[in-house]
Amino acid sequence: MEDIFSVSVIKLNDIVRHMLVEMTRGLKEDNHSLKMLPSHVIKRPTGNETGSYLALDLGGSNFRVCEVILEGNGSTRIQQRKYTVSAELKSGTREQLFDFFADCVVRFLKENTRDPDRPRKMGFTFSFPVWQTSIKQGSLIHWNKGFSVPSVQGGDVVQMLQDALDRKKVNVTVTALVNDTTGTLISHAYSQPNTSIAVILGTGTNAAYVEKAENIFKYKQEIPTGEMIINTEWGSFDEEFAVLPRTKYDRRLDRTTLNPGRMPFEKMISGMYLGEIVRLVLLDLIRTGEIFSGQERSLKLDVPYAFETATMSRIERDHSIDLNDTKSVLQDLLDIPHTTLYDRIIVRSVCELVGKRSARLSAAGIAAVATKINCLNGCVVAIDGSLFELYPHYSNRMRDALGEILGISAENIILEQARDGSGQGAALIAALAAE
């Protein structure tokens, strides 16, 4: 297992080189594995922007409505409510999905504001690959992260949202469409103007960065500011399977997803999939009698996605001599009543291998983007998402890998935790769009 899941520094460097080639290709024309989508956001905030905006933020696991008050001087006040997108909605019809969004906005305005009927502007964070034709217009290229509402694909998602809001007679105009990476970059730049890269490491993964206009060959319009944020959509990196060190478990996982063959980088890195990779490895080790021998099979472990990435976090956080918490996790969550210390050590090692591989691959992605924009002598990377924030050792493992790839220059790349940047960023982009 160690052999197949460890990613050597040679491999990391191969990945960086291949990603650099793919980034340049993606900036020249469409239909490469790195989509390099122009965000139409052509300036970063100064920190002086003011006003009140709504934001609607559809990520992976979370859906939020926020009201953001930009106070100037880089500070904001934000109130937000989270809502759950049910499994039925994730694979239902387009009207059901967008009506649900509009209903949540109605509820939010009624419950949290004094004058729900006054006109408001809204930024829409839609964290899926979107081909944008303007700051407030764009069509979904394909779903991922477990969503599958076919009739959304191809149409303008802003229009769909606006139509739903109009149907519910809500006095809100959608004025900006934003990916969560772009939102995070802009929101971090509000207080840290030298932020030039943003990364999401959560249910899904992706990165956006500030690119010089002259390098975006496929974008034919003039860019007066000389720069634009590019959404790399790095989750789909290496769909040609040239460089990523995929194991038989990655291939097995891929075959059972709603988007087989797609998003290989995301499937090796993000929170939606790590637990499932561990589950597949454990099933193999049980089958060969290497762990949990002599007891009844746990039916729970047979259920796809029953082993969550949050469980891996918990196991990796267990530093007790007997791995007692790991014992409880296996007992309570997975119905495996009797485990030896040896079993638990193996389970923890598998979590560590899969978790570490994810951190090292994402570091390779960051090294590639930082090299692409020539910022190895100093740049801030804003990072949001549960893996970076909550998974034990994740950020240290990333920093170690960055050091192996970039040597001393790695010290100039500052990885900073960004929180809730995507909603706030959408509001800021709505503000910048209104200028």
340/330 Cα distance (integer angstroms): 11
Give the contacts of 344 (CB within 8 A, at least 6 positions apart): 322, 323, 326, 327, 330
360/274 Cα distance (integer angstroms): 14
DSSP E strand stretches across 43-136: 50-58, 63-72, 75-83, 120-126, 130-134
Report CA 374 to chain centroid distance, whole Å. Answer: 24
Residue with tokens 């970039």: 406
218/156 Cα distance (integer angstroms): 21
CB of 428 to ligand BGC, least distance (A): 17
30/102 Cα distance (integer angstroms): 33
Q: Strand 379-384 vs strand 413-417: parallel, antiparallel, or unpaired?
A: parallel
CB of 202 to ligand BGC, least distance (A): 6
Give the contacts of 244 (CB within 8 A, at least 6 positions apart): 15, 237, 238, 264, 265, 268, 361
34 vs 334, beta carbon nearer ligand BGC: 34
19 vs 200, beta carbon nearer ligand BGC: 200
42/50 Cα distance (integer angstroms): 19
CB of 87 to ligand BGC, least distance (A): 17
> Helix (H, G, I), strand (E, B), or coil: what is residue 75?
strand
161 vs 406, beta carbon nearer ligand BGC: 161
CB atoms closer than 10 angstroms to residue 83: 15
Nearest to 305 by CA among 256, 268, 236, 339: 256
Q: CA separation (Å) from 97 to 121, 155, 183, 266?
A: 21, 14, 22, 24
CB of 358 to ligand BGC, least distance (A): 14
CB atoms closer than 10 angstroms to residue 302: 10
Amino acid at site 227 = E
222/209 Cα distance (integer angstroms): 19
List, by residue number, the catalytic residues: 64, 127, 180
CB of 418 to ligand BGC, least distance (A): 13
Report CA 162 to chain centroid distance, whole Å. Answer: 25
232 vs 326, beta carbon nearer ligand BGC: 232
CB of 236 to ligand BGC, least distance (A): 7
123 vs 129, beta carbon nearer ligand BGC: 129
189 vs 329, beta carbon nearer ligand BGC: 189
77 vs 82, beta carbon nearer ligand BGC: 82
Residue nearest to ligand BGC (CB): 204
CB of 155 to ligand BGC, least distance (A): 17
Instruction: Please give the residue ranges that form the binding site for ligand BGC (CB under 6 A).
Output: 59-60, 127-129, 144-145, 179-181, 200, 202, 204-206, 233, 235, 266
CB atoms closer than 10 angstroms to residue 149: 18
